[in-house]
Amino acid sequence: MKSSKVAGATVFRPRTSLWFTGVAVLVALGGLATVVAAQGPAGLLAGWPLIGVAYAGWWLFWYPAVVFAEDAVTLRNPLATVRVPWSALIDVDTKYALKLVTPRGAYTAWAAPAPGVWGTHAGKPEHVTNLPSTSYGPGGSVRPGDMKNTDSGYAAYEVRTRWQALVEGGRIDVDHPGSVHLRWNWSCIAGAVLLVAAGAVSLDLGS
C-alpha cells in the first residue's frame, strides 16, 4: 500500500499501481523506440496505439486513488470521482473492495480491491488486531478484506479510524448528513476516446 500527503489530504494508492503504470509506460516507450529505429521519425505518426497503452496504464492504475481529507473521503475512480462527506457515511464494507455506504447508495473504490487467495494467506496476527471496532463481525471475526496488509483493509482502516474519531469527538451531525457529490471524469474519458480514435486512424493508414 502507498499513501502520500497532498495539500493537507492523504492520498492512498495500492502499491501495485506504480508497477503496473511503469510497465505500461515502458512497453509504450520500447515500442516507440522500435518504430523509430525501423521507420525513422516518421514512424511516430503510427505510434498512437502505443501512446494509448501508456495512457491506459496511467488512467487505470495511477489515477485511481482514495483521498482522505478533514471533511470527506473521496473515491477517485477511472470513470467518476465520488466525494463522500464523513457525515454521510453509515457503513464501510470490504467484501469485494472498499465500499462506502450512505443513505442514498453505496460507492466502491477502484483503488482498494479486496485480496485474492495470496493476499489472504499472507495475513499475520498483527493485521487483524487493534482494528476499529466496526471492523469485527460476530465472535470477533475479521473479513479477509479488512486485514491491514491488503489494499481494501488498509483503506478501510483509515476510513474507520478517522470516522470513529469524528463521531467520538462529536464532530458529525447525524441529523444533517452532507450530500454525496459524484462527477464524471470527462477529461480522462475524452482523452481515452481521442487516443482510441487516433490509434484506429493510424492503423488504418498503415494498412
Percentage above 90 pLDDT, the chain: 49
62 in any annotated domain = yes
pLDDT band of 4, cuts 50, 70, 90: low
Q: How high is the pLDDT of residue 139?
A: 57
Model's pTM, two decimal places?
0.85
pLDDT band of 147, cuts 50, 70, 90: confident
What is the domain count for the chain? 1
CA angle 164, 167, 171 (to 5 degrees): 130
Mean pLDDT to the nearest integer, 86-106: 93
What SS3 state is found at 111? strand
User: How far from 47 is each of 27, 33, 53, 54, 73, CA to CA, in Å?
Assistant: 12, 10, 10, 11, 38
Q: Does the pLDDT value for residue 26 go beyond 60?
A: yes
Selected residue with higher pLDDT from 139 and 28:
28
Q: How high is the pLDDT of residue 170?
A: 85
56 in any annotated domain = yes
197 in any annotated domain = yes
Mean pLDDT to the nearest integer, 180-207: 84
Rounded CA separation 31/25 (Å): 10
pLDDT band of 206, cuts 50, 70, 90: low
143 in any annotated domain = no
Reference 26, options 3, 4, 58, 1; nearest CA is 58
The pair phi, psi for residue 101, each rounded to 5°, is -100, 130
* DSSP structure string for 9-71: EEEEE-THHHHHHHHHHHHHHHHHHHHHHHH-GGGGGG-HHHHHHHHHHIIIIIS-EEEE-SS
Rounded CA separation 88/9 (Å): 19
Q: Does the pLDDT value for residue 73 go beyond 90?
A: yes
168 in any annotated domain = no
Mean pLDDT to the nearest integer, 72-101: 95
Rounded CA separation 124/84 (Å): 31
27 in any annotated domain = yes
Domain that holds residue 37: 2-113+174-206
Rounded CA separation 148/128 (Å): 7
pLDDT band of 92, cuts 50, 70, 90: very high
The answer to whether 89 and 100 are in contact (CB under 8 A) is yes
52 in any annotated domain = yes
71 in any annotated domain = yes
* pLDDT, mean over the chain: 83
pLDDT band of 173, cuts 50, 70, 90: confident
